[in-house]
């Protein structure tokens, strides 16, 4: 019998330089393109690391959206946007996609400065619908007709901001796509529900529905209301759309987010209708099409570099534990001694180490979802009734709950403990995730205690101190990544509130570090000592209350005082300078310099290189001291000329 040879498919991804190139593709070609796009995404992330599972889950949706809509004229906004690697590949960035999350490379999120296909930058959840509403209003004021589409995941729908935006959508022509990849939710996504979704999104059904509404409008109120509820709840029972209907959205779905026939048909129907708003419920599978991701509990949400064939991720070299793990273990130790200690996270149990705490104390661990505002006030309620809440949130995400920190915690003097992970610069996640501002915004609040850990041993002391502190709110910050490898005390001593420490004594230059630049301050002192400049290193520990005795001593006994912090201007250095000015200690000729993060958003790179840009590595600290002395010394310090 003669063997039948299968025709060789011509690669399509190589032909797509922009979404316009796929607009004329048929369904079969779109399926092939999706397969190639998925394979390309897997290959890219195997080299760069980053977010994988979410992107694999929206490959077909990405293809369908760019096929149906006239992007970039039509505005496509991705919530969080960690799922946009396939989008970047299709929108003219394929030649740079292997620079993802690297210095001078592509961002891991959408970024307006990067492409006209990224109309709105994102990395925090729940912002897409609000941004889309703004663009809808701008379109309507200009008399335009462009489509505005927001793609938001079911996780982001735990953010109250999304509902605030939907509540204001009224009758605006807006399309929201709810990407539902929560494996615990299993709505009907078979052929029947897909057929119904396509049917109810079509013009025929809409016309009949409008006619029925017109007739119902002339009925007595009880009959009219009964007719409305009958139609709405009938569809709500089958499709789960009642909530969104109450918010004024016309609900379509659920539909299979990996079936291009269904996706394209529904999107075309909704595109061609002139009213709105619409919510299209799309069910997808995180990690779709890559077996190691599908099999993993986290669906390869975030990965390091990996072997494409086996899925095995590149293991980091053995070394000191991360600050996050040190925090979690210290909190567990305190919680074993005190059953009033509880822990709160906002959808980041693994990232904050509270998964470990939850394993030990499941009933004392609370994940509030992407709802930092609620999380902070929830902690305030716990504190008001005698519990000891540790509100454990990345610094960058705590910004979202700041009003609650002010009004619900600080104003009432409640003893909420704020553990602020990812303080300072964070490497590949870039400026959207940098913890740059918490020193200033927490230090501005009356009654707030603000600490920063100089090393992992100090972090354990700050956890213990916070657990014992009941006089009001207290916060401590610590960086992403591994500690410096020092011994961690099993029985950490409590810190005296508002007192720092001298760790190295000299006579000419004083380096006063607040936080994890302490190790770089030690290296800078070595460089300065080698130049004959006797150098003191002090660990401030507290930005509020300041250790004024320590600061006065450093100012009195040294020619130069350099403050160092991994935070924006207006933080620890500013507090120190204000104290010295108020107390008249600047009148004796003291030379003081504040080293902070510069007044820019620093793009992603390795942490070391980002701190090079910031001027906060050892050689830059030494250079600042030499420049402040003004002795004209021109020396090379670690590659930096002073």
Active site residues: 286, 372, 400
Q: Which two tokens stand for residue 465?
A: 């101190």
For residue 294, the 8-state DSSP code is: H
CA distance 367 to 355: 10
Q: Give the β-pairing of 278-283 and 365-367.
A: unpaired
CA distances from 610 to 452, 614, 639 (A): 20, 6, 16
CB atoms within 10 A of CB 208: 10
Give me the DSSP letters along 2-39: PPPPPPPPPPSGGG-SSGGGGTT--HHHHHHHHHHHHH
CA distance 275 to 472: 52
Burial of 234 (0-12, 13-18, 19+ CB in 10 A): exposed
Give me the DSSP letters along 315-339: PPPS-SPBHHHHHHHHHHHHHHH-T
Q: Which two tokens stand for residue 266?
A: 């529904």
Q: Which two tokens stand for residue 146?
A: 């462009």
Q: Is 63:34 a contact under the CB 8 Å cutoff?
A: yes
HEC profile of 153-201: ECCHHHCHHHHHHHHCCCCCCCEEEEEECCCCCCCCCCHHHHHHHHHHC
């Amino acid at each position: 019998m003669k063997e039948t040879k299968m025709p060789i498919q011509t690669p399509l991804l190589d032909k797509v330089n922009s979404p316009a190139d796929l607009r004329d593709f048929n369904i079969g070609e779109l399926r092939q393109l999706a397969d190639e796009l998925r394979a390309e995404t897997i290959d890219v992330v195997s080299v760069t690391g980053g977010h994988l599972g979410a992107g694999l889950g929206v490959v077909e949706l990405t293809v369908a959206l760019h096929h149906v809509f006239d992007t970039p004229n039509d505005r496509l906004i991705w919530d969080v946007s960690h799922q946009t690697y396939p989008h970047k590949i299709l929108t003219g960035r394929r030649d740079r996609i292997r620079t993802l999350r690297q210095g001078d490379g592509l961002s891991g999120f959408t970024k307006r400065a990067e492409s006209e296909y990224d109309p709105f930058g994102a990395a925090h959840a729940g912002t897409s619908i609000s941004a889309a509403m703004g663009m809808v209003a701008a379109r309507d004021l200009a008399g335009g007709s462009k489509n505005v589409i927001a793609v938001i995941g079911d996780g982001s729908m735990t953010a109250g901001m999304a509902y605030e935006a939907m509540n204001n959508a009224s009758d605006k022509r807006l399309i929201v796509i709810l990407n539902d990849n929560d494996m615990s939710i299993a709505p009907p996504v078979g052929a029947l529900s897909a057929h119904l979704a396509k049917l109810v999104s079509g013009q025929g059904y809409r016309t009949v529905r409008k006619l029925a509404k017109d007739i119902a409008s002339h009925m007595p109120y009880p009959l009219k209301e009964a007719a409305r509820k009958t139609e709405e709840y009938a569809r709500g029972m089958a499709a789960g759309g009642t909530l969104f209907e109450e918010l004024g959205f016309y609900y379509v779905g659920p539909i299979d987010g990996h079936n291009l026939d269904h996706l394209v048909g529904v999107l075309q129907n909704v595109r061609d209708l002139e009213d709105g708003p619409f919510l299209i419920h799309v069910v997808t599978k995180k990690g779709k099409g890559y077996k190691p991701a599908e099999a993993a509990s986290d669906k390869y949400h975030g990965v390091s570099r990996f072997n494409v064939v086996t899925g095995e991720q590149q293991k980091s070299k053995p070394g000191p534990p991360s600050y996050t793990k040190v925090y979690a273990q210290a909190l567990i130790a305190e919680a074993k001694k005190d059953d009033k200690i509880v822990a709160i996270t906002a959808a980041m149990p693994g990232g904050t180490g509270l998964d470990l705490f939850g394993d030990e104390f499941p009933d004392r661990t609370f994940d509030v979802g992407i709802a930092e505002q609620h999380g902070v006030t929830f902690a305030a309620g716990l504190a008001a009734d005698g519990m000891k809440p540790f509100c454990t949130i990345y610094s960058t995400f705590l910004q979202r709950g700041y009003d609650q920190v002010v009004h619900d915690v600080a104003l009432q003097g409640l003893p909420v403990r704020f553990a602020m992970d990812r303080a300072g610069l964070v490497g590949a996640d870039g400026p959207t995730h940098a913890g740059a501002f918490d020193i200033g915004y927490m230090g501005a609040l009356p009654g707030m205690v603000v600490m920063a850990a100089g090393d992992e041993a100090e972090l354990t002391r700050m956890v213990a101190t916070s657990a014992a502190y009941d006089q009001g709110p207290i916060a401590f910050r610590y960086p992403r990544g591994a500690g410096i490898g020092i011994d961690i005390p099993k029985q950490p001593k409590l810190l005296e509130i508002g007192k720092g420490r001298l760790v190295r004594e000299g006579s000419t230059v004083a380096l006063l570090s607040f936080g994890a630049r302490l190790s770089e301050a030690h290296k800078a002192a070595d460089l300065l000592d080698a130049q004959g400049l006797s150098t003191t290193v002090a660990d401030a520990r507290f930005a509020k209350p300041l250790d004024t005795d320590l600061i006065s001593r450093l100012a009195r006994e040294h020619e130069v005082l350099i403050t160092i912090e991994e935070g924006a201007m207006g933080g620890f250095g500013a507090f120190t300078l204000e104290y010295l000015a108020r107390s008249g200690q600047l009148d004796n000729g003291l030379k003081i310099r504040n080293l902070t993060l510069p007044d820019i958003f620093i793009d992603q790179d390795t942490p070391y290189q980002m701190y090079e840009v910031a001027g906060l590595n050892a050689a830059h600290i030494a250079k600042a001291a030499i420049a402040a002395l003004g002795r004209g010394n021109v020396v090379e310090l670690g590659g930096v000329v002073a």
